[in-house]
Chains A and B, each alone.
Chain A
């Protein structure tokens, strides 16, 4: 399958401090790819390099087969959407006027504005002035602006970090819709549930290095310890191996009607992250 992003041994130094070291990965067309890592691990730096806002110290990065240094032409810009923590909106203008500017810049009809506002649950707020919006609302407008022009590739830097659960859900549904339309999404987050829910594959980033890269399911399988925890009617819990011996024990408990609950011991992405890096995610 076609690679939309191709990164080879990428490194970035900030005054001799490595923010990224030997990072390599590729993102396929239509895939949602997650960069999972704690604060300062280099997630934003990676997005900035891939969108030509920063020049890498070493290594190669290609987007749509084009080196990032050549991304400046308008046709390439139209294929890419970006949401980063530093993308500002015009505070004195309304939500609508902010998006209208970008419709003109990207050659998109104004009818698209209501469509994207609907996707981020802001349809009723189009006339509001930006300076009067809450942090979560700002993030949603910025997000709407990022996919206003239906980009083929969307970079999202912690898209739900300022949102409540209801709006987070709403955004997830919007992103699923974009995915169905074939959008490739590169997403960073330190929320493992978000990565698990949205991403086809995730890379664990720690101190500028990729430590693991696979689909959430494959990772959970790989790190599974093949046990279940059984809660018995007396309140005691027992960890049972998922082999023949465990089956026998479980069968016994069940025949005696002693089982109140069974928990899977499959690790979450967060557990795996801690196991691999020895660090907590947030």
Chain B
């Protein structure tokens, strides 16, 4: 299989231009930013709250933008033209993923600034956020492959926003319902654990299990995406 950086960047540039003119989708970028600004003004200092905003950004930006970028190409029949060109599906998906990635990192960075969040170890936290972003982009890609319109994408993303943004609060109820302890293993919970440990001065070497679990989510999601891709795109 051939892979061309030029074609990948062409898709990236096109999607970037298109996204800046797409009010409906780019509006969702504002949700985490506004939340961050509001919390920041109130001077709230809580890792749980910071990461609620970050996890929301991961869902609404990484997953949702990726999903709607793909869904819209199908809805408007523009995917046909791309598929008939030398661009491979991989180049198309990765080009979009790159845009979702850059946007997510920007939104989280600006949110952190608004919130006044300065982690003890920026490198470890960044690694955790980058790995999580990859997971959410894979999720968005899988959802984008199964949805046919931006409307559908907006609906299908909702349960994921619920589980992954607010899922961490589920573990509070875990004493009553032990099954909810599983929520601790969600990637968002793991990311918060990393952040909390970092504040206590824990080093990378002792955090490998958290990274490992997020890594497993990435691999699992990537596999699911591959299977859907094979089923949906090769007809």
Chain A residues engaging chain B, CB cutoff 8 angstroms: 51, 53, 55, 72-75, 77-78, 80, 82, 84, 86-93, 97, 101-102, 104-107, 145
Chain B minimum-CB-distance residue to A77: B86
When C-beta atoms are compared, the residue in chain A nearest to B1 turns out to be A73
Stretch from B57-65, B72-80, B139-147, B170-178 forming part of the interface with A:
B72-80
The verdict on B2 contacting chain A, using a C-beta distance below 8 Å, is yes
On chain B, the residues within 8 Å of A91 by CB distance are: 76
**Across-interface contacts of A82 in B (CB, < 8 A):** 84
**Are the C-beta atoms of B77 and A87 separated by less than 8 Å?**
yes
The interface residues of chain B lying within 8 Å CB-to-CB of A93 are 14, 17-18, 21
B77: nearest chain-A partner, CB-CB: A88
**Distance (whole angstroms) from the CB of A281 to the closest CB of chain B:** 27
Say whether A101 contacts B22, CB under 8 Å.
Answer: no
Evaluate contact between A89 and B78: CB separation under 8 angstroms: yes
Give min CB distance, B129 to chain A, whole Å: 30
- B residues at A contact (CB < 8 Å): 2, 4, 6-7, 9-11, 13-14, 17-18, 21-22, 76-78, 80-88, 235
Least CB distance, A140 to chain B, in whole angstroms? 15
Query: Could you jot down 13 A-B contacts, CB within 8 Å?
Result: A53-B83, A77-B85, A82-B84, A86-B77, A87-B77, A87-B81, A88-B78, A88-B80, A93-B17, A102-B81, A102-B85, A104-B10, A105-B82
When distances are taken between beta carbons in the complex, the residues of chain A under 8 Å from B80 are: 53, 84, 86-88
Q: A73-B2, A88-B76 are in contact. Are A53 and B18 (CB under 8 A)?
A: no
With a 10 A CB-CB cut-off, give which of A78, A90, A102 has the most chain B CB atoms.
Answer: A90
Q: How far is the CB of A5 from chain B (nearest CB, A)?
A: 16
Who on chain B is nearest to A98 by CB?
A: B14
* Complex Cα gap A74–B8 (Å): 14
CA–CA, A93 and B10, complex, Å: 14
Distance of A86 Cα from B79 Cα, bound (Å):
10
Please tell me if the beta carbons of A106 and B6 are within 8 angstroms of each other in the complex: no
B20, closest chain A residue (CB)? A92
Q: Are A74 and B4 in contact (CB under 8 A)?
A: yes
Judge whether A105 and B77 touch: CB under 8 Å.
no
Asked if A92 contacts B22 (CB within 8 A), the reply is yes
Please measure, in the bound complex, the distance between the C-alpha atom of A53 and the C-alpha atom of B2, giving whole angstroms: 20
Most chain B CB atoms below 10 A, which of A78, A88, A91, A97: A88
User: Across the interface, do A105 and B85 meet the contact criterion of CB distance under 8 Å?
Assistant: yes
CB distance from A178 to the nearest CB of B (A): 18
Q: How many angstroms between the C-alpha atoms of A142 and B18 in the bound complex?
A: 18
Query: What residues of A have a CB within 8 angstroms of the CB of B7 in the complex?
Result: 104-105
Query: Which residue of chain A is the closest to B89 with respect to CB atoms?
Result: A72
In addition to A74-B88, A101-B14, 5 A-B residue pairs with Cβ atoms within 8 Å of each other are A88-B81, A93-B18, A104-B9, A105-B82, A106-B85
Q: Which residue of A lies closest to B91 (CB)?
A: A105
* Shortest Cβ gap from B95 to chain A (Å): 11
